[in-house]
Amino acid sequence: MTLLTVENLRLSIYDKPVLHDIDFQVSAGQTLGIIGESGSGKSLSALSIMQLLPHGSQVAGSIVFDGEDLLNKTEAQMCDIRGDDIGMVFQEPMTALNPVQTIGQQVAETVIVHQRVSRHESMQIAAQTLEHVELPNDEFPLSRYPHELSGGQRQRVVIAMAIALKPRLLIADEPTTALDVTTQAQVLDLLKRLTHEHNMGLILISHDLGVVADIADHMVIMRHGKVVDSGLTDAIFKELKHPYTQKLYEASGHVPQRVAVSSQAEILLKVDSVSRDYTLPRTGLFSAAKKFRAVNAVSFVIHRGENVGLVGESGCGKSTLARAILGLEKVQAGSISIDGEQVLADMQMPSSLRRKVQVVFQDPYGSFNPRHKVKRLVAEPFHLLENKPGAREYERTIAEVLESVGLASSDGDKYIHEFSGGQRQRIAIARALVIKPKLIVLDEPVSALDVSIRAQILDLLAALSDRYQLSYLFISHDLTVVRSVTDRVLVMKNGNIVEQGDTETVFSDPQHTYTKNLLSSVPVLPGEHH
């Protein structure tokens, strides 16, 4: 039975056309995958269905749900439909949840808004729904707050809010983008199970072909506000008839060209039996403070020009270890040295050592001051140099480094908000490169990027590594990316390195059970192999 039919959907925002004649259908018990890069119109198509469009929007065409056109509904009628008949799961659970309300209150709120039930009954329904999304009440009481949960657990709470009233259609907008591979696999399995159990229609929006390939029955591929390809998922992957579909497919499995690094190269970074402890809050007035060990006796080396991957689930200690290497965390045991010089935390680390290691963060926008022009942002590491460049040298160096990452020298006079996500990441890489460090720590540098932009950034990183003999510590939960750009890989679990070795060897013949589980959770495109 067809639940939703979208025909000739057109959307303009302040008279600028954004969506052009969009057509698709969703049936009960069926999953439709909507694929496309940033700006393709995926999310606006979903928001058109929900009638949650930005101010200045003009929409035409028809969106028929359960025999009635949603475009003819008043806001009051849509309020009855949203949450009750159509649920929506947003991309970022931390912003979709209220930080000052418990998870029980937030799931119960949906029930209270739509049904005449008591507070007690609504909390009972909330408990049952959270149990249904694998957050049992004995482990995750209703009194917990969002900040007390992991990213995957928060995403489950958002799903619980969306399905509390058993909607007939669920829209999930990039529900797994920020999750590690095993949590992503669990959330996708959960969505698949809910679709079958409730005979619910599901629209799954993503920029990742691999995520959608396994779960969607039908697919719609969008570009610049238009549907460029659509059909049964198997047929789309088999035929790859549209050039853009081919491009997305190739970019998803893209492997940059790299020069192999000799294991005889000198050691640049040495991490020797490093442990990092945190003191937990006291549970009572006279109780002893307990310690939590985030990193436990970790040892490894990185050679000059070598790219090493560090993988593991959220909370395994990857970022803590990275901060220790950057001299931002004190370690309780062991030592870290770069170029034979000891890394010391806080202000004890000399500028001569700090300039040998730079970092590129996951969210480039959050790591820049929006009030400054790009030229000044890229020049920030100059304060580490003993001999600061003069005015002419300053301009020349900034222009050179911007051009080396594929930007124009004139981009230095713009502000960061004027750039796309991929361009901001290039600027972050330029800032890390400007003082010619020997080691760059890359913390999830491509996780939020579209597949084609991700392929460009990976090519850029590989080229820069070869050109400048740069070493990378590449931290990521995306194992496909790690496999394509690193020489060796370290697998981390609960603060321990459980497996390490040549990347291809570890990926093709994993020895540790945990590594096998991680690899089995990686989405595989039809026609590809692990």
Whether residue 57 is predicted with pLDDT greater than 50 in this model: the reply is yes
Q: List pLDDT tens digits, range 331-377.
A: 999 999 999 888 887 667 888 888 899 998 877 777 889 999 999 99
Residues 181 and 320 in one domain: no
Of the three residues 186, 220, 252, the one that is the final residue of a domain is 252
Rounded CA-CA distance 200/192 in Å is: 10
Of the three residues 252, 275, 290, the one that is the final residue of a domain is 252
Rounded CA-CA distance 28/450 in Å is: 30
Rounded CA-CA distance 310/490 in Å is: 5
Rounded CA-CA distance 190/76 in Å is: 31
Asked, for residue 296, whether it belongs to a domain, the answer is no
Asked, for residue 204, whether it belongs to a domain, the answer is yes
Residues 487 and 384 in one domain: yes
What does the pLDDT read at residue 263? 65
- Residue 231: exposed, middle, or buried by beta-carbon count in 10 A (0-12, 13-18, 19+)? middle
More confident residue, 399 or 252: 399
Rounded average pLDDT over 47-71: 93
Asked, for residue 441, whether it belongs to a domain, the answer is yes
Residues 370 and 492 in one domain: yes
Residues 234 and 322 in one domain: no
Which candidate, 474, 472, 482, places its Cα nearest to that of 518? 482
What does the pLDDT read at residue 529? 47
Asked, for residue 389, whether it belongs to a domain, the answer is yes
Q: Structural domain of residue 63, as residue ranges? A: 2-252
Q: List pLDDT tens digits, range 405-462.
A: 888 999 999 998 888 777 888 899 899 989 989 999 998 888 767 888 888 888 888 8
What does the pLDDT read at residue 502? 93
Asked, for residue 291, whether it belongs to a domain, the answer is no
Asked, for residue 292, whether it belongs to a domain, the answer is no
Q: Domain count of the chain?
A: 2
Confidence of residue 501 (pLDDT cuts 50, 70, 90): very high
Asked, for residue 527, whether it belongs to a domain, the answer is no
Confidence of residue 530 (pLDDT cuts 50, 70, 90): very low
pTM for this entry: 0.82
Residues 372 and 449 in one domain: yes
Q: List pLDDT tens digits, range 79-106.
A: 989 988 999 988 777 778 999 999 999 9
Residues 235 and 377 in one domain: no
Rounded CA-CA distance 56/44 in Å is: 13
Residues 230 and 311 in one domain: no
Q: List pLDDT tens digits, range 111-165.
A: 998 888 898 999 999 999 999 888 888 888 999 998 888 777 888 899 899 888 8
Average pLDDT of the chain?
Answer: 88
Asked, for residue 419, whether it belongs to a domain, the answer is yes
Whether residue 320 is predicted with pLDDT greater than 50 in this model: the reply is yes
Rounded CA-CA distance 1/155 in Å is: 29
Residues 184 and 322 in one domain: no
CATH value at residue 418: 3.40.50.300
Q: List, in sequence order, the alpha helices (H) in 240-279.
A: 243-252
- The SS3 of residue 440 is strand
